Structure 1
Amino acid sequence: MDKRVSTILFAVMAVLFIVACGDGKKKGDGQQSLATTEESKGDTTVYGVCGVNTAMHNLELVTVQGDTLNYLFDVDDESAVKGGLLAGDRLAVVGYKNADGEYEANQVLNLTTLMGKWRSIDKQFELMEDGTVLSAVKEEAHPWTSWKVFNGQLLLNKDTFTVNALGGDSLYLENAHGIFTFTRQK
């Protein structure tokens, strides 16, 4: 009986590892998205995939360089994690090394949750994996055409937004012009 239990546990762990790591394939030309993985000059964001050892106060991040970093974060601070944490999801993390040499996350943005179709009263757009934005409103004077994360903020063309909240069906962005509310379009 012990041998069957250990075999089953091994199979479950193998499946979780495969799901978390993914197959490395991306749409398009085979390169990873510039919007979600490229560290630009001056960008303090660390990009990677949520690891299977992520827990209540600890985020395991497997970076795009292949390093595994463990970030501490305050689960009671609702502004720290936006979009949830699920093993295998792509993340953008802004943090620092504390006096004890441990990594602490100020902000975690789930890029997997962020991508997709969004709409408001006057805008409809889709954030694509390759860093492009598809606009559904053709009459728009200055539609967003590209996106990326820079220092934990969302850049849509040259417009910079703070992501106030991100859920499976809602997105709240803020900049100097106000707060913008979007719902997920199915």
Structure 2
Amino acid sequence: MKKIFSLAIIMIVVTIAVSCNGNKNKNENAAQNKPAMVDEADSTIYGRCGEGTSMNMLQLLTDKGDTLSFTLISADTTANVQGGLLAGDRLAVLACKDADGEMFANTVINLSTLLGKWSDINRTFDIQEGGTVECSNQEPKPYVDWRILNGKLILTSDTFSIYKLGPDSLMLENNQGIYAYKRVMK
């Protein structure tokens, strides 16, 4: 009986050790900027910039038909707005509640500004509506699709933070560095 009990304890300890090691490897992969899993929940709110948007307030007409208002500037912080705010533009918003309990826009990405053809010395790609990317077939690892997931831009299998998005410039950051692109006019 003691042998069976000892064997059961050893198996439980081995199972726990293997499980913990597996979690460590998953965390290391996430830290290495691996692509997001398909089943990961997206907390981004999508919609159009409303005409009630001002310097300190964002009005978002969501894809679900709601009208939401977000503070852009609070006592402690300022929202990270990439690509500007123009009524009618398509936006992706990451929000939270500020210290006063008001909805605060942590990150705002202007998807209308993100669309278009971008180029640097090594790569040219065209981010298109509907989640597709056109890229030269000569690229060693061409981008074929894109999406926003929790405020990050995913280009096929590469995940980036949008460091800067303007009318003619795009800077993307991951753990390998910052990549700067200029808009290619058609």
User: Amino acid of the residue matched to residue 84 of structure 1?
Assistant: G
Work out the number of aligned pairs and report it.
146
Give the TM-score normalised by structure 1: 0.74
Give the TM-score normalised by structure 2: 0.74
1:9-24 equivalences in 2 (<5 Å): none
Match of residue 85 from structure 2: 85
> Is residue 69 of structure 2 the alignment partner of residue 73 of structure 1?
no
Structure 1 stretches (4+) deviating beyond 2 angstroms? 74-79, 97-101
* Secondary structure of the structure 2 residue equivalent to 1:138: coil
- Contact 2:72 / 2:78 at 8 angstroms: preserved in 1? no
Match of residue 123 from structure 1: 123
Structure 2 CA distance for aligned equivalents of residues 97 and 63 of structure 1: 18
Distance 1:78 1:183, change over 3 A: farther
User: Amino acid of the residue matched to residue 65 of structure 2?
Assistant: G
Displacement of 1:98: 3.3
Match of residue 47 from structure 1: 46
Match of residue 170 from structure 1: 169
User: Amino acid of the residue matched to residue 129 of structure 2?
Assistant: E
- Contact 2:73 / 2:79 at 8 angstroms: preserved in 1? no
* Secondary structure of the structure 1 residue equivalent to 2:180: strand
- Contact 1:131 / 1:147 at 8 angstroms: preserved in 2? yes
Distance 1:90 1:61, change over 3 A: same
Displacement of 1:130: 1.1
- Contact 1:115 / 1:127 at 8 angstroms: preserved in 2? yes
Structure 2 CA distance for aligned equivalents of residues 90 and 115 of structure 1: 10
- Contact 1:58 / 1:70 at 8 angstroms: preserved in 2? yes
Structure with greater Cα Rg: 2
Which is worse superposed, 96-105 or 170-179?
96-105
Q: Can you give the 5+ residue segments of structure 2 that lack an aligned partner in the other structure?
A: 1-38
Displacement of 1:56: 1.1
- Contact 2:153 / 2:162 at 8 angstroms: preserved in 1? yes
